[in-house]
Structure 1
Amino acid sequence: MSGSFVSSAILVGADAVIRAHGVNPAELAPRAGVPVSALNDPDMMVPARSVLRLFELAAAACDDPSWGLRLAYSVRLATVIGPLWILLRNARTVAQMCTDFAHNFDLYTSAARITFEPVPGGGLLNWTATLGQTESEVQMAEFAMATCCNEIRTHCPPGWMPRAVLFRHAAPADLNLHRRLFGHDLRFDQDRNALLLDDTTLVQPLRGSATHVRTLVRAVLRHEGATLGGDLPAQVEVIIRRLLPFAPCTIGNVSLAMGMAPRTLQAHLQQHGQSFKNIKDAVRAELALKYLLHSSMSIGQIADCLDYGDITAFSRSFRRWHGRSARDMRAQWDARHETPSLTAR
């Protein structure tokens, strides 16, 4: 699912970073329109504008102008974009990875845009929010630049730094953290947020063989190495949860993430008395209820998120799962519970 929502996986680590400054995240999140549960639940879909607002509120409440950079220390780009990595798995060089990333970023969200453009001696990887100019994007811009930079660094020699980093906003008073992450060529008050990568960087091959890529994809879908535990059906369930909001959740994609052929996966599931279809159906049922009661997504957006081609098919499934229509259940929930404010105070 793309659009104006993003996965709450982008908030991984935010709770700890906020608390480290002596601030209560549970007080900040509702002010931004972010459900408190999304701070520790990577399966939620939250409005991108609310995440942008939370980043700015956190920086102000923590009195930390580099809050976005500090958060970037605790995450990887793969955590943020999740199974979009499946589409990047065939990249051979950093340049191709940047190109593929830019061409497919809309699968993750349309609330921001990434472009990659050649320039003499290298290329520019650009990031910009597309939510209008009413919200500050300083923290998110620095977070985005840092996570992209850290990912490219994993494919480069030790000590690598981009040739330069450009920011639209003015320079903060303290640049120590910026220099540790980006080097010394920091350019503020520019017309874009971008990493300037030289030709030597762009021709760097992506490290690892096809086996390594499959391992990486598995780690991404498992939420950066979180212990799966349990048997094969439990592993398949975790991967389906990671894949559903981003890409067609087929047995082919899931089997790829697990490094086995679809027929082999189905055979193993049958040995456990399970099937891919039944596991996917159970995950959809649980996530449908979670999104309906604890997010601001419309029923149509929930259907899209759960890989339904149309809202009618989703509605039939919801009634089969929960014994009533999605519309009726949301109305009853809203009538019985005080709905948190979804706007900043």
Structure 2
Amino acid sequence: MQRITSSRFDSDSVLTTIGGYALAISRALEHNGVDSARIFQAAGIAPSLLKNDPMSRLPVATMARLFKVCVDVTHNPYFGLTVAKFIHVSNLHALGYALAASSNLMAFCQRLERFFKLASEACEITLVANSDEVALRMRLLVPVCAETEDALMGFVVLSMRQLYHANFAPVRVVFSHAMPREGSGPYEKLFRAPVEFDQAQPEIVFPRADLEQPLTGACAELAQLHDNLAVSYIARLDKNDVVSAVRQKIIEYLPNGDCSRDKVASAMCISPTTLQFKLSQHDTNFNELLDATRRELAASYVQQSALSITEITFLLGFNDSSNFTRAFKRWEGVSPSDYRKNAKIQGA
């Protein structure tokens, strides 16, 4: 069997998963009394990939092969649910730490939607919300094994319980894979909610009111730091992801007060016209990305009491506080000062 030794993402050949994910599988095997080193060797996975480095990657197909071996040796058709209990936020590197520092579970879900590519290229996550419920929807880009689906869904719910409340439960959980012959009991026990199988796409539906409650472990500074790291890593992993590359440059240049399309294009070694064309292929343009990035940063900065409004103004590349205040009111409907005051009240 060919040993996997490459740790860099190659967008032209394979879709990958972060190597830290395999650490959780290793811990789950050891918990079941199985020598994980032997199993990883049987799956053709080099020990050098088992580390918390976002640039250390495993092909999605290799992960499926590993899970198959794990199920065979443990005789556990619910092994994916077991792995969910051993996934730590650190296994997802910057994304995991940003999730842990989120202001509420809605922000947690929004980070999954924006940055899940850092954890895995296997699916895209989308939030669909109404007045009562929020659905976290997964669009699978390649076929994945049932255990991969189970581990992801289980990790999301178990992490939310740890951050919010031990009794927290979703409204329902939907899987695209078939129900195991042994039944749905372990799924219902873990999720504490109705479960469905053989559906078009996986999703978890949550009560919106719970997702909007403040979290005691929230830290806007840490969340923003790791958001920026996630953008940077995604841009490094996928050289073809022009949107992430532009976002990274915007974040880098905003504090200098010189964040123009021409400067970003020059840093990316392309012409401004080419940059605009590449962005148009993703239904966006430079000004839209600049505005969206400023808005995301502004909401985070304003929640950081150590930063004055004047400091935030210049961090976002505005010439004066009045321009920033007008932009912030357009984004959020209130002034930066009122937004900060409301955030403090909700977190009290």
Give the TM-score, by structure 1 length. 0.55
Q: Give the superposition deviation at 1:110.
A: 2.3
- The equivalent of 1:94 in structure 2 is 105
SS in 2 for 1:74: coil
Q: 1:115 aligns with which of 126, 132, 137?
A: 126
Paired residues of 1:128 and 1:141 also in contact (CA < 8 A): no
Whole-angstrom distance in 2 between the partners of 1:204 and 1:56: 39
Matched letter for residue 61 of structure 2: R
* CA spacing shift, 1:72–1:85, aligned 2, 3 Å: closer
Whole-angstrom distance in 1 between the partners of 2:131 and 2:177: 25
Whole-angstrom distance in 2 between the partners of 1:17 and 1:87: 24
Whole-angstrom distance in 2 between the partners of 1:245 and 1:59: 32
- The equivalent of 2:137 in structure 1 is 126
Q: 1:46 aligns with which of 49, 53, 58?
A: 58
Matched letter for residue 94 of structure 1: L
- The equivalent of 1:201 in structure 2 is 210
Paired residues of 2:104 and 2:218 also in contact (CA < 8 A): no
SS in 1 for 2:156: helix
SS in 1 for 2:128: strand
Structure 2, unaligned runs of 5 or more: 1-7, 237-247, 249-267, 270-348
- The equivalent of 1:13 in structure 2 is 24
Work out whether 1:65 is the aligned partner of 2:81. no
- The equivalent of 2:115 in structure 1 is 104
* CA spacing shift, 1:5–1:183, aligned 2, 3 Å: same
* CA spacing shift, 1:15–1:93, aligned 2, 3 Å: closer
Q: Give the superposition deviation at 1:86.
A: 6.3
Paired residues of 1:94 and 1:203 also in contact (CA < 8 A): yes
Paired residues of 1:83 and 1:246 also in contact (CA < 8 A): no
* CA spacing shift, 1:209–1:67, aligned 2, 3 Å: closer
SS in 1 for 2:170: coil
Whole-angstrom distance in 2 between the partners of 1:35 and 1:117: 39
- The equivalent of 1:181 in structure 2 is 190
Matched letter for residue 64 of structure 1: N
- The equivalent of 1:148 in structure 2 is 156
Q: Give the superposition deviation at 1:20.
A: 4.5
Q: Percent identity?
A: 20
- The equivalent of 2:201 in structure 1 is 192
Give the TM-score, by structure 2 length. 0.54
SS in 2 for 1:12: helix
SS in 2 for 1:110: coil
Aligned length in residues? 227
Paired residues of 2:90 and 2:96 also in contact (CA < 8 A): no
Work out whether 1:82 is the aligned partner of 2:93. yes
Matched letter for residue 52 of structure 2: P
Q: Give the superposition deviation at 1:120.
A: 6.0
* CA spacing shift, 1:217–1:146, aligned 2, 3 Å: farther
